[in-house]
Structure 1
Amino acid sequence: MRLIGLLLVAAGLLAACTAFAGRWVLALDTFASFMPLFGVAVLLGLLLARTRAALALSVLALIPVGVAVLPEWTRPIPAARAAQVRIVTHNVWHDNPDPAETAQTILDAHPDVVLLQEANGTFRPMLAALRQSLPYATDCPADCELAILSRWPIGERDYFLKDHAGQSFGPPLLWARIQPPGAPAFTVATLHYVHPGPEQAKRRAELALALAGVPHDDWIVAGDMNLTPWAAAMREQDAALAPLTRFTRSLASWRRPVPVLPIDHLYAGPDWGLADARRLPATGSDHYPLLVRIGRR
């Protein structure tokens, strides 16, 4: 057992160092998604080995794990004075085998705004059902997989941001201006990144540049970002999207039935504070839906 434990610690050290190198080598950053699991493997190996060599290797392994994971738990998130807006974000999955159950789970959360990804598959017929309770919705081209539904009226809306000449800029992004009665209007947007790699890096850079070009203090941006909080790419995005703040903190949302990776996220501008964020019950999707309650600061 000691040999097995020592090998487990050594493997955890190698994996953690490889993942940490993703700060400099984009192709390795994908491994950072599993950084907490590498830490668990190291601790389990130390428990089995119980040798000085295992202890020394464990300390070395837990340094990159700690550097990657701890900032997620210590970063500040502004608090709301009161919960005023309930937002559900959910990748409903193209091949969802139970779209009706998925729609019911969304409705049971009593959301004010719903942001959906992969809504152009088996879930599409359920959009009409959702509109019984969320009567305001965005239009999107036939090849668009995104959807926004709202309990409150929607003003301006579009697919992609547009400049004064009407030219699209930024990544594929569905946005809408929500107009709650008796309260200031605000903008919500949803998007779906491809898997980590050069194309995703391009879209992340486009998003940061696009948001920098519009008034974004009251913006809320959420979706399936295919990034975990301990990836270098996520830290880069957090910095690039400032003053928007990521309100989701390590909410594992993929993959059903045992969620391990927190890859669905919500950002909000400086007008907003967080009341709470939680994972909703499993649906027919391979992702779990998230409910985020926010309010004005």
Structure 2
Amino acid sequence: MRNLWLTFRWGLEAAAAALALGAAAAAVGAQGGRWNDKLDLLAHFALIWLAAGAVAFILSWASPSVLRGTLIRLAALVAVLAAGGLILPDFTRPRSPRAEASAPHQVKVVEFNAWNIHSDPDRVAAWIAAQNPDLVVVIEPHPALETRLRQATGLETYSADNIVVAARHPFIRTRVNWDVHDLPGQGFYLNWPVVYGFDGKPFAFVGAHQGWPIPSRRARSEALHLTLTLDTIDRPSAILAGDFNSTQWSFLRRQAEAGIGLERRDRALPSWPARLPMLNGRAFPIPFLPIDHVYAGGLWRTVKVERGPKLGSDHYPLIATLAWDGPVGGDPSRWPGR
């Protein structure tokens, strides 16, 4: 029995060592993403390296050797500190003052990558309707979803560039930037209508779907193109939502956000995976990549941002409630929210 127990402890020690060394190497390597785009890929998985380091630290106490256990704990601490260094800036970055739940002139924004035919359009439309949203962005919609969404919510919809957007009132203008499809690699999608605002002036409500962070050359070109596109609109009043296939732990994402010039309102809110495309859509219990984001200009205050339930897609939806903090005017019957 003693030998069996010792063998079990050796097994835990080996698992702890593998987790600690692997997580430490990945988390430290991810810090090199400041200078190397290939290493920056590791930064997207910061939550994984943090969790692996924490688990390794706990398991290390089962080691039958004081020295080996100490070395494993040191490696685990390196993993936790290096991964934490990637995550911490998202909590310490400057943020605009939040709005109270009772703040006037609010809009509720729903963003969701529906993953095409993998999600039931009736179920998705019913859930969105239950949120009573004012603005909606659905990426990769089921072919029938636009009609179902309009019927279930009563919102005005516009479908283009594999994105459906919806609002309470008819759009003032609609636009699709087809030239982004000339970029190399996976497509980059933009659909941005113009909506009547609380100040009586139009504002841009942009739905976006950007490609993976690899190859990095294409990812950088997409970020630059989005920045140049936003240069043509009034940023302080704009809202941007979509699937960016990129986490805020990434140095490339941080550079892209600096160019976007809008404040990201979600924080450490993983939206992928709900299902794993690589395992025939098998359900996954815990999301670990925050790749769906909601941005807004300086005239909006954040009331709250939440993650929605599983709806059949590999993504979870995001629900962001924003309050207008600018001048008020115009026709109240055309205001975008409540």
Q: TM-score range by the shorter chain?
A: 0.7 to 0.9
CA distance 1:194–1:6, shift in 2 (3 Å):
same
User: Counterparts of 1:52-67 in structure 2 under 5 Å?
Assistant: 52-67=70-85
Q: RMSD in angstroms over aligned alpha carbons? A: 2.1
Q: Distance in 1 between matches of 2:324 and 2:146?
A: 29
Which of 182, 192, 212 matches 1:195?
Answer: 212
Alpha-carbon deviations, 1:44-87, whole Å to 9, x = none? Answer: 11222243222322333233212101111222332236261011
Aligned twin of 2:47: 36
CA distance 1:266–1:177, shift in 2 (3 Å):
same
CA distance 1:172–1:116, shift in 2 (3 Å):
same
Contact 2:53/2:77 (<8 A) preserved: no
Which of 82, 95, 112 matches 2:134?
Answer: 112
Aligned twin of 2:117: 95
- CA deviation after TM superposition for structure 1 residue 182, in Å: 7.6
Runs (4+) of structure 1 exceeding 6 A deviation are none
Stretch deviating more after TM superposition (173-182 or 277-286)? 173-182
User: Counterparts of 1:198-209 in structure 2 under 5 Å?
Assistant: 198-209=217-228
Q: Which amino acid aligns with 2:57?
A: L
**TM-score, normalised relative to structure 1:** 0.88
User: Counterparts of 1:111-190 in structure 2 under 5 Å?
Assistant: 111-119=133-141, 123-132=142-151, 133-140=153-160, 144-160=161-177, 172-179=189-196, 184-190=201-207
Aligned twin of 2:331: none
Q: Distance in 1 between matches of 2:173 and 2:119?
A: 33
Which of 250, 265, 276 matches 1:231?
Answer: 250
Contact 1:224/1:264 (<8 A) preserved: yes
- CA deviation after TM superposition for structure 1 residue 97, in Å: 4.2
Alpha-carbon deviations, 1:17-45, whole Å to 9, x = none? Answer: 22222222212322212112111111211
- CA deviation after TM superposition for structure 1 residue 263, in Å: 0.6
Q: Which amino acid aligns with 1:98?
A: D
Q: Distance in 2 between matches of 1:93 and 1:126?
A: 11
SS of the residue 1:210 aligns to? helix
**TM-score, normalised relative to structure 2:** 0.78
**In percent, how many aligned pairs have the same letter?**
29
Higher strand share: 1
- CA deviation after TM superposition for structure 1 residue 107, in Å: 1.1
Structure 2 portions without partners, runs of 5+: 1-11, 62-68, 180-187, 275-282, 326-338
2:13 aligned with 1:2, yes or no?
Answer: yes
Contact 1:153/1:180 (<8 A) preserved: no
Contact 2:203/2:234 (<8 A) preserved: no
